Chain A
């Protein structure tokens, strides 16, 4: 058998292969036109999915921007929150600490001297934290009230814990387990 003729019809023709070609060639494909149905319409690549995705992204960005701006607009300025807008001729504070002091000190209803000092010291010590979680809407009085509420909650919590211990009793294991809190 001539391998080349079987492979690509080069070289000396192989008689058996030629006979196979002759016999089976009768079954060869007879060209016929491709009949497309009348109602056939090629599905074009639609841009609908891409547009939908783009619209969703735009909407999400727009909502995010709107919320951000809305929050900023609703947020009162630092001085306005303190309750005493600066006068046009008043000198501006030089440092952040001074600004903070201004925030906490200026108040419509001026607290007592001791309370003011206490609040000022607290605000100065927590300058960074206050800057990070700025709550300019709270006035000095409100801050004091907040501290009182927190203190009251702590006391109530301690009393409740005491009552629970008295009513349930303190198992030995609990003491051992909670030693780290005590120590």
Chain B
């Protein structure tokens, strides 16, 4: 009996050392590698994970009616250009940058159309409150609006925003605090009391 226990202990000790905290590869790294290897279907999972990020980045910049189509376009573009991505861990910041550039292109190409569409869309929607608050967020400096949209619209936490966008947690925290402060000031002027917290 004692010999059996000793043998068991020796067997346990002879096993290779394993760190208690196993460093796992980020999921996007695996997915990007699979897609580049030819498994295009795996891109759907990347799309599922990062579509809210792209949606939030776009929503902070372009009219909502355009956002869904732009999200699709951006992911198709990302799929075509995925081989140019150097670090698979940076897929989030990379696709967010594509979204920002696409939003800038959108404003360059159709500035007048955007304004008309925005007005029509606001007039048709039954619940204006969300759009009005979103409009206030869009009026904030660019550094704050994206973080606020990701936090309040897409429901991400600060650490998630930092992880997905590639910003440092400190930057995200500062953006959140200053953005909320500015938003409160502006809401106190033009937003219904229910939203303003009154």
A contact set with B: CB distance below 8 Å: 1, 3, 6-9, 15-17, 19-21, 23-29, 31-37, 40, 42-45
Whether the Cβ atoms of B79 and A42 lie closer than 8 Å is yes
Whether the Cβ atoms of A23 and B129 lie closer than 8 Å is yes
Query: Which of B40, B68, B130 interacts with A23 by CB under 8 Å?
Result: B130
- Known contacts A19-B195, A29-B154, then 10 further A-B pairs from the complex at CB < 8 Å, ordered by chain A residue: A6-B180, A7-B176, A21-B152, A24-B133, A24-B153, A27-B64, A28-B155, A31-B48, A42-B38, A45-B83
Q: Is there a chain A Cβ closer than 8 Å to B182's Cβ?
A: no
- How far apart sit A16 and B195, CA to CA, in the bound complex (Å)? 7
Q: Which stretch from B7-15, B52-60, B93-101, B109-117 is at the chain A interface?
A: B52-60
Query: Which of A20, A29, A40 interacts with B152 by CB under 8 Å?
Result: A20
- How far apart sit A33 and B68, CA to CA, in the bound complex (Å)? 11
Chain B contacts of A20 at CB under 8 A?
133, 152, 183, 195
Q: Is there a chain A Cβ closer than 8 Å to B91's Cβ?
A: no
* Pairs A–B under 8 Å by Cβ, sample size 11: A7-B158, A7-B176, A8-B158, A19-B197, A23-B133, A23-B195, A28-B154, A29-B56, A34-B44, A34-B75, A44-B38
Q: Is there a chain A Cβ closer than 8 Å to B127's Cβ?
A: yes
Q: Is there a chain A Cβ closer than 8 Å to B86's Cβ?
A: no
Query: Which of A27, A40, A44 interacts with B76 by CB under 8 Å?
Result: A40
Q: Is there a chain A Cβ closer than 8 Å to B51's Cβ?
A: yes
Whether the Cβ atoms of B173 and A7 lie closer than 8 Å is yes
- How far apart sit A32 and B52, CA to CA, in the bound complex (Å)? 11
Q: Knowing A20-B133, A40-B76 touch, does A34 contact B52 (C-beta < 8 A)? A: no
